Structure 1
Amino acid sequence: MIVLKDAEVRQILENLTLDDIKEYQNTLSRGLIEYYQDNSIIPSRIVTTTKYATHLFMGSSGSQVGMKALTGSHSGFRGLTTILDKHDGSPIGILNAATLTAFRTALSTILALVKVFVPGDQKSFIGGNLIVYGSGPQAEWHLRLALTLYPGFFDKVVIINRTTKNADALVTILKAKFSGVLFEIVSMDDEIHITEAYKNTSVIFSCVPTSSPVVLKRNIDQDRRSRIFIGAIGSYKPEMIEIDGETLINQCISKGGKIIVDSINDCLREAGEFQQNNISKDSLIEFGSLLIHPTPKKALDQLNYMKSQRVIICKLVGLCVMDIFVGSKVLTEAKRKGLGTTIDNF
């Protein structure tokens, strides 16, 4: 069995090439397809809240088996992912969940993004500004993957955050790898500069657990770009909401599109975007259906919408199958690179 510290997980992931990212996307796709074909491989997650934190316990029993325990507190999200032998349950590896969680979530959003804007395609209409709400690990990995897949395509990366201190720290980290990228930090309450940034934005990532929506239709209406991708991953409770109902309904659903989700059942149960706006399962489409072959009719309609319409929205709450499939690949890379602590006869 191999145990990987967070620094070792990060060492494996932070210098991925374009081809490496594609390999991880292929791995993730297999997990999402398995879940789409059989939702029962993921039992309902257990969520408990104490006066200190919220604890989440999740499992996955597809072709790759494992469990994840994650705690969200004022210190952020911490926990572990355990990979098990699918035949007898023997532990194969334990990974610190911090970077792995942020990476697999960003990888999922980016997997939707590349369906809209094909990397390397000069006619894909991606460009202008890239906006991200938040400055934590989720924001970092969304930006890392996007800037790697679309080098030189964005005029500017706009980081919108409550505090500039944390945003400054994120820029310092990213500048070490993306020295040629122009970064701008905007306060969450600076409506003038936010509105200005939206006027030329093709990609918006929301990575904040907020109870008030930050992606607003009035800003989308100001955007001059012909194609806009919105990926939201920060809200995970019914009282949380990142995208306002007008954007969801008027900019996407009413125009024939559906909101891309990782799990229809989990999103309807956990995402404030859908509960607070009375959005039903008929307006959602599971990610795995867009990846499987042959492609179902409903998914073909959505793929056509994504190629022709202006606003495409992806909302994720996270699935354990993502952690297990991506974590298994990270373990394989760790073995190849000689990283981690090996425990024999565990």
Structure 2
Amino acid sequence: MSSIRILTASTVDNILSKLSPESALSSQAHVFKHFSKPSPKPKKQQYDLIQTPHRITVNSEETTMLFMPARAPTISNSTFESSTTTSIKIVSLPQKSNDGLPGTTLILDEKNGKVKAIVNAKKLTALRNACGSALFLQQFPNPTPPKHLILFGSGEQCNSHTILFLKLWPSIEKVTFIIRSETIRSNSLITNLSNQFPNVEIKSSIHSSSDSKGLNELIKQGDIIITATPSNEPLFKSNDEIPKKGTRLILIGSYKPTMHEIDTALIKKSSIIVDSKDACLIESGELIDAKIEKEDLIELGEVLNEEGQNNDKKKIVLDKVGGEEGIIIFKSVGLGIQDVAITKLVLEEAERLNLGSIVENYD
């Protein structure tokens, strides 16, 4: 007989509140490294450790449903042993929704193919993206400790990035969310974050135009700029002073060739790190319009695989823009193996803490 563990949104929240940033970053670094430098199959291994079939889309009159299977090497948070995990994430894109995007991940037992866990993934996608961004910043820190974090957007991606960054970079004194108008969601975001981090100035700034004087002045103040919007037009106009030297930009919103969060001029004068060269050159409108080639890009996993003083990949990135004072961009469209890793980590914590609901004798 087999059982299934079910982790609801509140249970996942409980686990995440206790999960150390280091554990989350370690699990994500593990899959990034394997993605950019796949391990050879063991002699008795017939199938690839990493498998990421293309997502399947099913449409109805009211929503679009995405089915994303993946297999990846994952590392245990308790034993540090590596094994493979298979999962499928299901995300829905309703035409009308004020409650975020519903998402669920199923984890399967690789020995018998049975479902072993059902995990609410609403916050996990944002967390795994934030971990990728944090790994990038750890490899390419600002020339001086960052003080001002600027984010375009007010959704769960912005929330997860802000929480993780404020925990990892205590030098940040100010967080500004750039929005087009105040909403219940944006006000709630600022209130909740202000309660969690009372010593940090957290506020919103309303801008409806990409070239307003106030927006330009604000962008010049940012040490870290995160864009998390599905914008078809650049969110601000760059020039020699915008953004300032040493700025780190993280682009996580655009995922179609028609989308552009920053302009071509900024792409051309920056060094660019990506999660996946192939995926970003298909899905990132910013890179496509700038006619960026595969050899112009370096994957985050490539840099992580060379951690240490003799990191040739890091040297290439810094040399292109004249050192740490240059502008460096991280473009991420998200990898299915990231979902495998973060969900496996949360499930392991649930098992350790005996959290979630168990359905016995499912079969």
Aligned to 2:276: 263
Distance 1:304 1:149, change over 3 A: farther
Tell me the alpha carbon deviations over residues 132-183 of structure 1, each in whole angstroms, 9 at most, x when there is no partner: 01001000001000111112x1232111012212322110111121011112
Distance 1:303 1:61, change over 3 A: farther
Aligned to 2:232: 211
Q: Give the whole-Å Cα distance in 1 for the aligned partners of 2:30 and 2:110.
A: 16
Give the counterpart letter for 2:129 in structure 1: T
Distance 1:297 1:48, change over 3 A: farther
Aligned to 2:241: 221
Aligned to 1:2: 5
Greater shift in the superposed pair: 227-236 or 161-170: 161-170
Aligned to 1:24: 24
Answer whether contact 2:193 2:202 (CA < 8 A) is retained. no
Give the counterpart letter for 1:30 in structure 2: H
Greater shift in the superposed pair: 104-113 or 65-74: 65-74
Q: Give the whole-Å Cα distance in 2 for the aligned partners of 1:227 and 1:300.
A: 16
Residue of structure 2 aligned with 1:200, choices 211, 216, 221: 221
The alignment yields a C-alpha RMSD, in angstroms, of 2.3
Answer whether contact 2:264 2:286 (CA < 8 A) is retained. yes
Please state how far the C-alpha of 1:303 moved relative to its aligned partner. 6.1
Distance 1:86 1:161, change over 3 A: same
Q: Give the whole-Å Cα distance in 1 for the aligned partners of 2:334 and 2:59.
A: 18
Which blocks of at least 5 consecutive residues in structure 1 are unaligned?
Answer: 119-123
In the alignment, structure 1 residue 280 sits paired with structure 2 residue 304:
no
Residue of structure 1 aligned with 2:304, choices 282, 291, 304: 291
Greater shift in the superposed pair: 319-328 or 282-291: 282-291
Give the counterpart letter for 1:344 in structure 2: E
Q: Give the whole-Å Cα distance in 1 for the aligned partners of 2:312 and 2:26.
A: 22
3-state SS of 1:87 partner:
coil
Aligned to 2:327: 311
Tell me the alpha carbon deviations over residues 35-74 of structure 1, each in whole angstroms, 9 at most, x when there is no partner: 2234962122234555533332212123221111112234
Q: Give the whole-Å Cα distance in 2 for the aligned partners of 1:106 and 1:137.
A: 10
In the alignment, structure 1 residue 82 sits paired with structure 2 residue 106:
yes
Please state how far the C-alpha of 1:324 moved relative to its aligned partner. 0.7
In the alignment, structure 1 residue 71 sits paired with structure 2 residue 61:
no
Greater fraction of residues in helix: 1
Please state how far the C-alpha of 1:131 moved relative to its aligned partner. 0.3
Q: Give the whole-Å Cα distance in 1 for the aligned partners of 2:224 and 2:286.
A: 19
Q: Give the whole-Å Cα distance in 2 for the aligned partners of 1:311 and 1:274.
A: 16
Please state how far the C-alpha of 1:300 moved relative to its aligned partner. 4.8
Residue of structure 1 aligned with 2:130, choices 92, 102, 106: 106
In the alignment, structure 1 residue 174 sits paired with structure 2 residue 198:
no
**Corresponding residue pairs, total:** 329
Greater shift in the superposed pair: 203-212 or 280-289: 280-289
Please state how far the C-alpha of 1:260 moved relative to its aligned partner. 1.3
Answer whether contact 2:303 2:313 (CA < 8 A) is retained. no
Q: Give the whole-Å Cα distance in 2 for the aligned partners of 1:199 and 1:237.
A: 27
Give the counterpart letter for 2:304 in structure 1: L
The TM-score, its normalising length taken from structure 1, stands at 0.87
Aligned to 2:81: none
Give the counterpart letter for 2:119 in structure 1: L
Which blocks of at least 5 consecutive residues in structure 2 are unaligned?
Answer: 39-47, 73-83
Give the counterpart letter for 1:195 in structure 2: N
Aligned to 1:121: none
Aligned to 2:141: 117
The TM-score, its normalising length taken from structure 2, stands at 0.83
Tell me the alpha carbon deviations over residues 171-211 of structure 1, each in whole angstroms, 9 at most, x when there is no partner: 01111210111122111326233222222211001111111
Distance 1:36 1:99, change over 3 A: same
Give the counterpart letter for 2:344 in structure 1: S
Answer whether contact 2:216 2:236 (CA < 8 A) is retained. no
Residue of structure 1 aligned with 2:265, choices 243, 246, 262: 246
Answer whether contact 1:3 1:341 (CA < 8 A) is retained. yes
Give the counterpart letter for 2:316 in structure 1: D
Greater shift in the superposed pair: 71-80 or 1-10: 71-80
